[in-house]
Every structure is written in C-alpha cells, then in structure tokens.
Amino acid sequence: MLANPESTLADIESQLTAPRNEGVYNRYMKIKGLKAFALVVSEGSLLAAGTALELSEAAVSRLISDLEKDSGLKLFDRDRRQLSLTDEGAKFHIEALRTLESFEQLPALASGIKQSREEFLNVVTMPRLASAVVAPAVAEFTRSNPRVNIKIDIRTRSEGDVWFGSAVYDVGVGSLPIFHPRIISQKHLCLDVMCMVPAAHRLTNLHRRLSPADIAYENLITQGLSTLDRKQMEAWFRNGDAQLCQTIETNSPDLLGALVAEGAGIALVDALAVSGVSSERYALLQVENPYSIDYGTLWFSPPETRKQSAIKLSHLFEKHLAKWA
C-alpha cells in the first residue's frame, strides 16, 4: 500500500525498509528518488533534503543509491560525507528537473480533462526557431483552437541524445538532419549560410561573394565544437584551403547574433538563426559555395497515432517556415 499525503514520517520510513513490491510502488519510489536527488542538489546535503521530504538522512541516502543503481550512473562523488555532482550527475539533474516538472503537471492535466479541455500538446523546438517560427505559429493556432493546452520545450541540438527519441513530445520543429530511428522529419525550408558582420564592417565594401580566405583571420564567432553548424563551417573552410581561426564560441544562436551586432566579430549563419537581432545593426553578405541549413517538422510517433491538433500545428510551422524562403 502506498503512503498517502497524510502518512506520518514513521509510515514512510517503514515503507522504505519494507521488502520491495513491483508495479505502482516501484514507480512511486522512482519519483521519490528523483525528488530526493533534486533536493540534495538544491539544498546541499542529505540532511537538508531529508528535512524537506520529512525523511531521515539514511532514507534519503537509500533513495539516492537506488536511483544510481536504476540509472546506471554515478550521480555524486562522496568524500568524507561531502557530496558533489559528477559530470553525469549534472546532466542527469537537468533531466530530473524536467521529469519532475512534467509529473507535477499531472493535476493540471486532470483538471483540464474535467473541464472538458480538448487535450494537451507537448511541443519541442530549438532556440533559433522559438521567436521567428514557433511564436507566430502557436499564436495563430490558439486563436482557432482555444481549448488545447500547449507546453513548449526549447532544446539545443547538443541535448539530442536526451530528447530526439523522447515519446514525451507530440510534434517539433528544428534544424535538420536529425539522425534518430524514432524521429520522422519533414523538410520545409533550405537556407544558404551567409556571413553576418556588424553594420559598416570593412567586408561590406568588397561587393562580391566572400571566400574562406576573406574571413579566416577575422574575429570569428562560432557554434560549439560538436554542433552540426560548426562541422559544416569547418568543412567550408577546408574546401577553401583556409584555416578556421575561432575567437569566441557559444551554443546560443541568439547570443551569437548579439555578439556580432555589438562588434565582437563576424559569423557564418542563415537569416533565420539571427532573426531576433535588429537588422539595422548588422549586414548579411553572400559567400562562395555556401553550405545550407535545412529546417522542418519533427514527429515522434507514426502517422496513424498522431493527434489531429498536432497535425494542424505542424501545418502552421510549415507556413511560418515558408516565409523565410
């Protein structure tokens, strides 16, 4: 029998020390383990987490140990009773918080169903598309579908191992390609990369397509080493017999655009990626033999199981992507 909200500390402690049962109890304890883990990180100790959960320090320690066993990860380094997150633990912490957030939304979901809400849509996108494509598409969607609740997650490509194959989402929109057996992508837009420079930069006076040699020794602002954008950029420089000389690296397209606008350097981007930056503060110059960036919708389920509302929203993503063609 599971503890109810009125359970005493002794009741919960007895459950923790009782023999394990399969089924609902184990799922309950996994959520308890995630809560304990999140609290140990935020509060800084097993004791403080136990106080927040109304559990003993030993009970919290067991929850953490079980979580490490179930996940196959070492979440903490333990040194003289001091706990510090491992690299694995730090990454797991991000996802634990997302999972707990989703779990805590279940009451709202139930309430929505009781109030005859049509359904919930879980949407995922990448930072570069959030304002330029997702915002107008969702705004248009909600005007004609006011009874659908929508949750939007913004994820970078570097988090792909976590979310690309997730069954949590109904539909997404992002840059392509995405190589994952559970993802079905539909390409809707292809944009050539261009050279983004601050307004009145010297390169604006060349009046021709820029070569890799033209920009190789400029202060270059790039995406992270493991990103698709960065790999394509490096190949472009190699094909032009030039050396990439990077000075600033960021995983945020918004920050990349802002840095160029502030005069920190130049960047290779497509127009959509820097749509949030005032066009008066930069120029986009054509380059020789440009590589392209593809965009499209992402599906996490086969066609026969997709929600009609998700299909409607995907059409709006396609519509607002087409405006950038």
pTM: 0.68
What are the pLDDT digits (tens) for 174-230?
999 888 888 899 999 999 999 999 999 999 999 999 999 999 989 999 987 778 888
Q: Give the residue carrying structure tokens 């100790």.
A: 45
Q: Give the residue carrying structure tokens 């995983």.
A: 251
* Two structure tokens written together for 250: 């960021």
pLDDT at residue 81 above 70?
A: no
- 125 contact partners, CB below 8 Å, separation of at least 6: 133, 134, 152, 153, 154, 155, 172, 173, 174
Query: Torsions phi, psi of 87, nearest 5?
Result: -60, -40
Q: What angle do CA 119, 123, 125 make, to 5 degrees?
A: 170
Identify the structural domains of the chain with CATH numbers, from first to last: 9-104 (1.10.10.10), 107-189+294-322 (3.40.190.10), 194-290 (3.40.190.10)
3-state secondary structure of 177: coil
User: 157 and 275 in contact (C-beta within 8 Å)?
Assistant: no
What is the DSSP annotation of 93-154?
Answer: HHHHHHHHHHHHTHHHHHHHHHTT--EEEEEEE-HHHIIIIIHHHHHHHHHH-TTEEEEEEE
pLDDT grade, residue 11 (50/70/90)?
very low
pLDDT at residue 304 above 90?
A: yes
What are the pLDDT digits (tens) for 25-59?
566 668 888 999 999 998 888 888 899 999 999 99
Q: Count other C-beta atoms under 10 Å from residue 60's C-beta.
A: 27
Residue 32 to residue 72: CA distance in whole angstroms: 17
